[in-house]
């Protein structure tokens, strides 16, 4: 197990003293990689500007894995980069994270929820311009064709975030 893997194991187990001791042995490059990962994680904690919700129903005999394979952008449209040990496909002109889920009572129902963060007016304009023509570009036409083979679209909407409220308990820090 590498020193970074050991650090993340300690960190994930909330063994912070051990994680700090491990971190102190790292080179500046390794420490920078960890800070980059922390930055990416904390950036996702900010409120997104746009939320997209897509609801689909799988065709008979199709699985979530079939859907995910059809849903994921074709390789020629991805421009993957790695930041902080996470891969970003760079398909959209703004930071976007998508969660795909299945209905716990009916695994044929798939819900995709996308969150888009806007960091500047220019980025916001690019994202809005993309949203207006997104259903007409080659990438989305290919994705829609692929998805249509495995699932039927029930609903697809974009929403602007207005509030964000914590209704649960805080994450627990083990001492």
pLDDT per residue over 104-150, tens digit each? 999 999 999 999 988 888 988 888 888 888 777 888 889 999 999 99
Same-domain status, 136 and 111: yes
- 62 lies in the same domain as 146: yes
The answer to whether residue 167 sits within a structural domain is no
Parent domain of 155: 50-160
In a domain? residue 107: yes
Residues 39 and 60 in one domain: no
Residue 9 lies in a domain: yes
pLDDT in the model for residue 173: 60
Residue 17, classified by CB atoms within 10 Å of its CB into exposed (0-12), middle (13-18) or buried (19+), is exposed
Whether 32 maps to a domain, the answer reads: yes
Is residue 25 located within the same domain as residue 60?
no
- The residue that leads in pLDDT, 100 or 85, is 100
Residue 18 included in any domain: yes
Q: What is the total count of domains within the chain? A: 2
The pLDDT value recorded for residue 2 is: 85
**In terms of domains, do 58 and 36 share one?**
no
Contacts of 93 by beta carbon, 8 Å cutoff, 6+ apart: 123, 126, 127, 130
């Amino acid at each position: 197990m590498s020193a970074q893997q050991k650090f993340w194991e300690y960190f994930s187990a909330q063994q912070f003293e051990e994680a700090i001791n491990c971190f102190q042995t790292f080179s500046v490059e390794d420490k920078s990689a960890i800070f980059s990962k922390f930055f990416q994680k904390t950036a996702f904690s900010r409120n997104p500007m746009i939320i997209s919700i897509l609801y689909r129903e799988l065709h008979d005999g199709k699985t979530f894995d079939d859907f995910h394979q059809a849903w994921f952008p074709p390789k020629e449209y991805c421009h993957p980069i790695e930041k902080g040990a996470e891969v970003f496909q760079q398909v959209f002109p703004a930071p976007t994270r998508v969660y795909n889920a299945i209905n716990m009572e009916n695994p044929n129902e798939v819900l995709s929820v996308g969150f888009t963060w806007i960091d500047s007016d220019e980025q916001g304009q690019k994202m809005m311009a993309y949203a207006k023509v997104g259903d007409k570009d080659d990438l989305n036409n290919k994705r829609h064709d692929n998805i249509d083979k495995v699932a039927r679209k029930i609903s697809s909407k974009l929403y602007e975030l207005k509030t964000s409220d914590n209704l649960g308990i805080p994450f627990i820090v083990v001492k």
